Amino acid sequence: MDIVELLTADAVLLRAGVSSKRQALHDLSATAAALFGAADDRVFDALMEREALGSTGLGAGVAVPHARVEGLQRVCGVFMRLDQPVAWASVDERPVDILFALFAPPRDGAEHLRALAAVSRFLRSPERREALRAAQSADQILALLVDGAEARAA
């Protein structure tokens, strides 16, 4: 699975003024609900329930929150870069400024896992993370995500 299959241009966000993990998850869920036709409160609750099981902070300022959401037909994502990192209880205890949220249908196991693996693999690269942090617009971020996925496939 490629990241390109998970995102649309509307699903790439730059957010200033997010001051907490809860607020970041709320913004992700509101965007996902609007884009994918799901109920905002259900998406948020699903993300919060998953975080209660264990932090989705991977380290190096990256988190990949994910949840299963009723009504979805396929795995989809929302990317968010924060202007100021927020505390996340990541494995390395660093705050998070790069988030790639994934949403999957409730009974979709294999595709959800493939998407998690693809996003984690992509964001493992220090060069990619720094390029995402340096990007000046959502369009630049989308281009980096698309180009990086295409370069990996080549």
Residue 76's nearest CA partner among 139, 119, 137 is 119
3-state SS class at 8: coil
Compute the Cα dihedral for 147, 124, 88, 133 and give only its sign: negative
User: pLDDT digit of tens for each residue in the chain (154 aa)?
Assistant: 678 889 988 999 998 889 999 999 999 999 999 999 888 889 999 999 999 999 999 999 999 999 999 888 899 999 999 999 999 999 999 999 999 999 999 887 788 899 999 999 999 999 999 999 999 999 999 999 887 654 444 4
Place of tokens 């609007």: 34
3-state SS class at 34: helix
Active site residue 112: no
| Marked catalytic residue, from 66, 68, 81, 112 | 66
Q: Which domains does the chain have, with CATH numbers?
A: 3-153 (3.40.930.10)
Largest pairwise CA distance in the chain: 40
Write down the pTM of the prediction. 0.92
CA separation for the pair 122, 145 (Å, rounded): 8
